[in-house]
Structure 1
Amino acid sequence: MSKRSKIILGIIAILFIAALIWFGKKNQKSIVEYETETPFRTTIVKKTVATGKVTPLEEIEIKPQITGIIDKIMLLEGSKVKKGDLIATVRVVPNEQSLISARGRVDNAKLRLNNAQISYKRTKNLFDKGVIARSEFEGVELTYNQAKQDLKNAQNDYQIIKRGSAGSGGSANTNIVAQMSGTILEIPVKEGDQVIQSNNFNAGTTIASIADMSKMIFEGKVDESEVGKLVKGSDIEVSIGAIEGKKFPAKLNFIAPKGTEEGGAVQFKIKADVSLDDKFFIRAGYSANADIVLEKKDSVLSIKEALLRFDKKTEEPYVEVKQADDTYKKVTVKLGTSDGVNVEVLEGVTEEDQIKIWNKASKDSKKKDN
């Protein structure tokens, strides 16, 4: 072999070795090491949030017992009252036709009484002389007494229509008093307004609404998909929009047996007794949210939901577990309760397994790439 041929072969060998070294380094750069996490034990609480408001447990509306005009309002909204306190007075404006009719009944009752009185006196004289029997006299006496009572009743009716009362016994018709102790929430009328009494055909005009502000309840709505998991008597937490950073404990005491459709979804009403804090004044109608625990599991094996992937064909959840040779194996897992961040793992992985964090390479691999 000539010297020139040896030189050419040497150059080819050097180039071949250089190529092998270059390809080796290139392959080494392509290896990406992913960060991993291990399963852990934690408490998972699944909650739902019900939106609603806080309202008084006991609230009543005060309505007049007679039609008239508000003469005077004694108290203001927000005032504390006791049962029987005077809130307002009503001035009666009698109906002219009813007044004339009542006056006519009084006059007729007087005529009957005068006639019965004459008959009574005549019969009494005859009875005193022994002309008639006692039974006949007692019949005439009864008619006379009934005529006196009829006149009294007619006069009372006339006074009620004219003044709204028939003496001291009828003062409640024109005096609007509190029917319970509490706080006046609203007085929707003002002096001079006409009011109508409540009857079988009309609910009547509301003069005031009173509530016991020391007993409040939460009223909210829950979706049909979650109402089946609620248990009457469960403890919940109520957050009031107007009071930041404070949660009031409450106890669920009512779940509606019938739902109402709102926006294409069926909602069920719930109620809960709220335990108040003396440091905060709760106003009726405050908007509020209730955190309701649907399911709670203590110290269960869990992983972060971000570690999960789902098979495109079977839609089963899986993770990738690191093997001894630094490769990753696809492992199907069976899941339990989730709180939106962590999820319970029933089968598939153990506490020692290292699970791949998707799309997050380790710092060392990043440095190698650079």
Structure 2
Amino acid sequence: MKKVIKYVVLGLLVLAALWAAMFFIRTNKKSSITYDTQKPFISNVEKKTVATGKVIPEDEIEIKPQISGIIEEVYLKEGAKVKAGDLIAKIKVVPNEQSMNQAGGRVKNAQLALNNTKIEFDRNKVLFDKGVISSQDFNTLQLQYNQAQQELGNAQADYQIIRKGSAGGSSTANTNIRATVSGTILEIPVKEGDQVIQSNNFNDGTTIATIADLSKMIFEGKVDEGEVAKLKVGSPLEISLGALEGKTFNAKLRFIAPKGVEESGAVQFKIEGDVAVEDDILIRAGYSANASLVLESKKDVLVIPEALLQFDKDTDKPYVEVSVGDQKFERKDIEIGISDGVNVEILSGITEEDQVKIWNKTEPIKKNVEEEESKE
């Protein structure tokens, strides 16, 4: 009897040992990570690019003098709003001595010629009145006399222009620099005492002021050659300014350069867009800006977060793992479309009902040994 009891106890111990071993093996086989899943869903996807650039006025007008001289006085400052005709600065004419001498000599010669012609005219007028000379001869002398008077007037006018800046003796016409358009003065690159040169066929002349309408602004930026082919004139832009955080402006693409410029090994194409400026916001010329452009857009397509994608190490083709049971997953190759950086379009491979594994999950953080020992 004792032997039977002994064998029974021994058998129970063996069974208990086997059960403990099986339990230990099964427990170790279970992964310490529990993966979550997510279903594909229907959404809109827009592929965008960002062009860097700046915001500038649509038109900048440079005010240049009509006569050379020295800036006598500047009446306005940069940033002032002006209307067409407002006085900006005044120029003091510094005549050239040689030109003055030549003009003065011309006046004297014209005066001498007029005096001589007048003597001839007066003498022949008496003869004409007595009927001694013909009307034709008298008319010829009268024409010469009138021409001599005109020549003297022209010489005197040229002399006054060289001496004072205008033919009428007043320098208002040429020496007063006035705004030609309404807007804001962006820059006055001269100061009192500076010498300025008039605009002519051989010289652009000195810029007295630059004026622009800040209510009409454009975005000017550049895009890479790999993206320019996808742009269309008239496409919407979203402009964000570095100086105005959290504020965006709507714009419309109006120009794409037909020729690119190579910069740092990449070909860049210039683009421009009309910016819708709000009346209560001042945008200063030259603000740095970024323009978000939609390259491609699709509506109501099947998408998943890009974080769920995995790529084959050999073929580099995308795939996902789909749940087929409790923490059991099966690989499914998929075909993807456009991406907006967050979600990616699914063209084929999975359906809206599939549960896709969220694969990039890390191991749970183990507790400190001290905490374990304190609990024990």
In 2, the alpha carbon distance for the partners of 1:28 and 1:85 equals 90
Distance of 2:337 and 2:159 partners within structure 1: 78
Give SS of 2:36's match. strand
TM-score, with length taken from structure 1? 0.90
Residues 164, 170 of structure 2: 8 Å contact kept:
no
For the 8 Å contact 2:103–2:158, the answer to whether it is kept is yes
Report if aligned partners of 2:164, 2:171 keep a CA contact under 8 Å in 1: no
Given the alignment of the two structures, is residue 98 of structure 1 paired with residue 74 of structure 2, yes or no?
A: no
Secondary structure of the equivalent of 1:190?
coil
Secondary structure of 1:246 counterpart: strand
Matching of residue 336 in structure 1 with residue 341 in structure 2: no
Per-residue deviation, 1:28: 4.0
Partner-residue secondary structure (3-state), 2:344 = strand
- Corresponding residue for 1:148? 149
- What's the CA shift string for 1:213-237, capped at 9, x where partnerless? 2211111111211111112112211
CA change 1:326–1:283 in 2 (3 A) is closer
Q: Indicate the residue corresponding to 1:64 in structure 2.
A: 65
Counterpart of 1:27?
A: 26
Q: Distance in 2 between the 1:315 and 1:78 partners?
A: 58
Distance 2:169 2:225 in 1: 57
Alignment of 1:84-95 (within 5 A): 84-95=85-96
Pairing of 1:1-370 with structure 2 (within 5 A): 15=14, 18-19=17-18, 21-32=20-31, 33-167=34-168, 171-324=172-325, 327-360=328-361
Q: TM-score, normalised by structure 2?
A: 0.88
Deviations 1:264-309 (A, max 9, x none): 2111121111112223211111111112122222221011111112
Change (3 A) 1:325 1:246: closer
How many pairs align?
A: 361
Cα 1:56–1:359, aligned 2, differ >3 Å: closer, same or farther?
closer
CA distance in 2, matches of 1:196, 1:141: 43
Separation in structure 2 between the aligned mates of residue 163 and residue 271 of structure 1, nearest angstrom: 46
Gaps of 5+ in 2: 365-371
CA shift in 2, pair 1:125/1:76, >3 Å: same
What are the Cα deviations for residues 301-349 of structure 1, in whole angstroms up to 9, with x where unaligned?
0111111122222221111222247532221111111011110001000
Taking the aligned partners of 1:86 and 1:279, their CA distance within structure 2 comes to: 27
SS at match of 1:34: coil
Separation in 1, partners of 2:148, 2:171? 23
- Report if aligned partners of 1:300, 1:344 keep a CA contact under 8 Å in 2: yes
Q: Distance in 2 between matches of 1:219 and 1:158?
A: 49
2:35 touches 2:327 (CA, 8 Å); kept in 1? no
- The 3-state SS of whatever aligns with 1:360 is coil
CA–CA distance in structure 2, aligned partners of residues 227 and 170 of structure 1: 54
1:58 shift after superposition: 2.3
Whole-Å Cα distance in 1 between the matches of residues 68 and 145 of structure 2?
Answer: 35
Q: Partner of 1:126: helix, strand, or coil? A: helix
Identity of aligned residues (%): 60
8 Å Cα contact 2:321-2:356 kept in structure 1: yes
Q: Is the contact made by 1:35 and 1:361 (CA closer than 8 Å) also made in structure 2?
A: no
2:56–2:285 CA contact under 8 A, matched in 1: yes
DSSP-derived class of the 1:111 partner: helix
By how many angstroms is 1:72 displaced? 1.2
Q: CA deviation at 1:14?
A: 5.3
Using a 3 Å threshold, how does the CA distance of structure 1 residues 251 and 117 change in structure 2: closer, same or farther? Answer: same
Query: Is 2:237–2:292's contact at 8 Å kept on the other side of the alignment?
Result: yes
Mind listing any 5+ residue stretches in structure 1 that lack a counterpart? 364-369
Q: In angstroms, what is the RMSD of aligned CA positions? A: 2.5
Q: Which moved more, 1:115-124 or 1:181-190?
A: 115-124
Q: How far apart are the structure 2 equivalents of 1:361 and 1:281? A: 49
Distance (whole Å) between structure 2 residues aligned to residue 101 and residue 297 of structure 1: 78
